[in-house]
Amino acid sequence: MGKLTNFKRSIWVFHASGGSCNACDIEIVAVLTPRYDVERFGIKLVGSPRHADVLLVTGAIPRDFADKLRRVYEQMPDPKAVVVVGSCGTTGGVFYDSYNIAGPIDEIIPVDVYVPGCPPRPEAIIDGVVKAWLKIEKLEKELEKKGGAGE
Amino acid sequence: MSWLESLTLTSPSGFWNPLLWLAFLVIFAVIGYIIYSRGNRSYKPNTEQVKPFISGNAVEDVEQIRVRAGDIYWGFMEALKGYYAVLMRMHTGDVRDYILWYLGIGAIILFILLGGV
């Protein structure tokens, strides 16, 4: 519903951690703490991909987790975007080509934004989510053109 | 009295008119359809989108995850397994067997009572 776009002042993010060492995860938490406080920009972490616009993935993704990540991605409503946080998810990092690793993440699900770093700074994570936000706005417009996205 | 009035049933607490009811039904159906047609068409039925979120795990068959009423007694059944195994063998579901038990136990009680005299 195009006329209601002014109300879309928030973006909800689901964080999936797949075999991460937790360094990226605590930086994501740092983004939520009072120093950065992204909720004031309408960026909010949610507990279910069913409610999320953006999927934030960390970790090199072990084989056991690959199908779960795929399922989480498929459970998100359209339009959606995927942000990979950290070197492990982006390239495999130090686990590259390991026998038990299914990643990098773009070999499992389509990725829209990469935030490299080990771990990346909170500013970089925020920048990544904002880029995903722009992508979602673009996708929404495309859906509207097709006569799809009502809401 | 007009034909519309003839269809109207009045009572101290209000009135009832089937044509009016029908008119409202049509109006609300149209409103409902307008809301429905503005809905999100990117919704994909029969995909993972419609399944419950269980942390990315596959949703098992409902028969396997459902807690049945009988499951409440699981602890008793497990603790008294030996006792219940005998009892369950005795429960054949055949009413003639139960009558036989009734007569047999009745005979024993009678024997004890008469024997005691």
Fold of A11-148: Rossmann fold (3.40.50)
Model pLDDT, residue B62: 81
Q: Which residues of B touch A69 (CB under 8 A)?
A: 56
pLDDT of residue A147: 66
Supply the pLDDT for residue B67. 85
Residue A121 tokens read as: 């700074």
The predicted structure's pLDDT at residue A150: 45
Which among B40, B53, B58 has CB closest to A149?
B40
**3-state helix, strand and coil shares in percent for chain B, rounded to the nearest 5:** 65, 5, 30
Residues of B in contact with A67 (CB under 8 A): 56, 58
In chain A, residues with a C-beta closer than 8 Å to the C-beta of B49 are 50, 74-77
Is the pTM here over 0.80, yes or no? no
B109: domain range?
A: 60-116
As for how many domains chain B has, the answer is 1
* Per-residue pLDDT, A1: 46
Decide: A143 and B42 in contact? Cβ < 8 Å. Answer: yes
ipTM value, please give it: 0.70
In a domain, B35, yes or no: no
Is the pLDDT score of B1 beyond 90?
Answer: no
Best residue in B33, B34, B40 to probe A by mutation, most A CBs within 10 Å? Answer: B40
Q: Judge: B42–A69 Cβ closer than 8 Å, yes or no.
A: no
Tell me the average pLDDT across B22-32. 97
pLDDT value of residue A148? 52
Residue B4 in domain: no
List, for residues B77-106, the tens digit of each pLDDT value.
899 999 999 988 888 889 999 999 999 999
Interface residues on A facing B, Cβ-Cβ cutoff 8 A: 1, 16, 48-50, 65, 67-69, 71-72, 74-79, 143, 147-151
* Structural domain includes residue B26: no
pLDDT at A65: 92
- Cα–Cα distance measured from residue A127 to residue A117, given in angstroms and rounded to the nearest whole number: 13
Cβ proximity of A33 and A61 under 8 Å = no
Are B44 and A75 within 8 A, CB to CB?
Answer: no
Residue ranges of chain A with per-residue pLDDT less than 70: 1-8, 147-151
Residue in chain B closest to A18 (alpha carbons) equals B56
Per-position b or e across A68-104, b if 16+ CB within 10 A of its CB: bbebbbbbbbbbbbbbbbbbbbbbbbebeeeeebbbb
Q: Which amino acid is at B60?
A: E
The confidence score (pLDDT) of residue A3 equals: 52
The answer to whether the CB atoms of B40 and A49 lie below 8 A apart is no
List the single best residue of B34, B35, B41 to mutate versus A (max A Cβ within 10 A).
Answer: B41
Give tens-digit pLDDT for B46-65. 888 888 888 888 888 888 87
pLDDT of residue B116: 65
User: Are A84 and A125 spatial neighbours (Cβ–Cβ below 8 Å)?
Assistant: no
> What is residue B76's DSSP assignment?
H
Q: Is residue B96 part of a domain?
A: yes
